[in-house]
Amino acid sequence: MIPPFETFYEAHRDEVFRFLSRRLGRQSAEDAFQETFLRALRAYPRLEHGEHLRAWVFTIASRLVVDEARRARPAAELPELTAADDRLPAFEDLAPLTDELPPKERAAVVLRYGYDLDYDEIGAALGSTEAAARQAASAGVRRLRKEHR
Amino acid sequence: MTVSPSLDERFRTAAAAADLLDVAFDVIDDTPIGPLLVGVSDHGVCRISFDTEPEHHLEVLARQFGPRVLRSSRPVERMHRELDEYFAGRRQHFDVEPDVRFLPTYHRLVLEELARVAYGTTTTYGTLAAKTGNPRAARAVGTVMHRNPIPIVLPCHRVVGASGSLTGYAGGLDRKEALLRLEGALL
């Protein structure tokens, strides 16, 4: 059962806004906040269940943070891609790979390696702790290694 | 740090403007019979309630109309204005359509008949029952009135007992009496 959007919005708006403010600063955070919940609203009828909604909305918000960072940085100032950056897979690359993972592990892997979020932020997004997020991400990676061997 | 009221309002307005809501609702505080919770869909007004605690309505509205239920005042403005005019005695008929799509057939049938009961007049449960095919179904008609999701617009306050007594009203007899008095149906 998917909760009414009002309930979902009331439950998560403040922490989503705090997260966006930390990453983007207050001004950009306001636009990103509105866009996050408009995107959530667009996708809402297609949700199959009401689990992990917190991680889901943080995934949307994280994606906007990444887009905003790209947009805000003028092309001329783009740093040379380092080897480490090059190895970061985009969300689109990770999504099909992680399809089969349990939801928590999947969210942790995508947020860590797709969005480069810190474990404390992932912990916040998943409603658990930094340690649990680290554990979920490494369990996910182990599982992926096993599956793709 | 929390979301400021202006940012909150901005999102709620944008959500409605983008046509992304199954139901928009708001609480109207300034009516002579107390505050009303009003819900509207794409198809018209789908909920009016004297119980203005949103918590009591969200789940039901989401189940019936879809999960995108959000408080947003803009879409409710038209209904709000028509209610203001009605309470000021300047409106006898509502132009906002009642959205009864998801009600059981019998309820819809009875409520459609109810919608024909004119401003300032009353009818009885038995008369409505007869008009909807079964003169003995007065009690069933009473149940439909009691569960009327859009009172005032669908005027169940105009239905009284065969003896002329007010009988009952989901919003309380005081409100029923006030509405009939407003319409000049009670002296």
Those of residues 22-41 in A touching chain B at CB distance below 8 A are 30, 33-34, 37-38, 41
- Considering the candidates B114, B153, B154, B156, report the single residue annotated as catalytic: B156
Q: How far apart are CA A117 and CA A98, in angstroms?
A: 17
Q: How many CB atoms lie within 10 A of CB B20?
A: 19
Instruction: Say whether B62 and A4 touch across the interface (CB within 8 A).
Output: yes
- DSSP conformation letters of B15-69: HHHTT--SEEEEEE---TT--EEEEEETTEEEEEES---THHHHHHHHHHH-S-E
- What pLDDT is recorded for position A87? 38
Higher pLDDT, B165 or B181: B181
Query: Which has the closest alpha carbon to B162: B145, B187, B139, B184?
Result: B139
Distance from C-alpha of B58 to C-alpha of A92, rounded to nearest angstrom: 35
**pLDDT digits over A33-91, tens only?**
999 999 999 999 999 889 899 999 999 999 999 888 788 765 544 444 443 333 344 55
Residue B1 to residue A18, Cβ atoms within 8 A: yes
- The DSSP secondary-structure symbol of B151 reads B
Instruction: Decide if A124 contacts A117 (C-beta within 8 A).
Output: no
pTM above 0.80, yes or no: no
Å between A126 CA and nearest CA of chain B: 19
d(CA B34, CA A35): 36
Q: Which of B169, B166, B176, B117 is nearest to B148 (CA)?
A: B169
Q: What are A91-143's pLDDT values in tens digits?
A: 556 666 777 777 778 888 877 877 667 787 788 777 778 888 888 888 888 88
Which one-letter DSSP state was computed for residue A82? P
Enter the tokens of residue A104.
Answer: 């928590």
Scored b (16 or more CB within 10 A) or e, A113-140 reads bbbebebebbbbbbebeeebbbbbbebb
B125 versus A119: the higher-pLDDT residue is B125
Reduced to 3 states, what is the DSSP secondary structure of residue B186?
Answer: coil
ipTM of the complex: 0.92
Query: Which residue of chain B comes nearest to A22, CA vs CA?
Result: B1
Locus of tokens 């009135």: B145
Binary contact (A38, B11; C-beta < 8 A): yes
Question: Which of A6, A13, A18 faces B54 most closely, judged by CB atoms?
Answer: A6
DSSP assignment, residue A52? T
User: At residue A136, what is the residue type?
Assistant: A
- Catalytic site includes residue B46: no
Look at A138-142, B20-24, B61-65, B88-92 and tell me which has the smallest mean pLDDT: A138-142
Q: Are B57 and A3 in contact (CB under 8 A)?
A: no
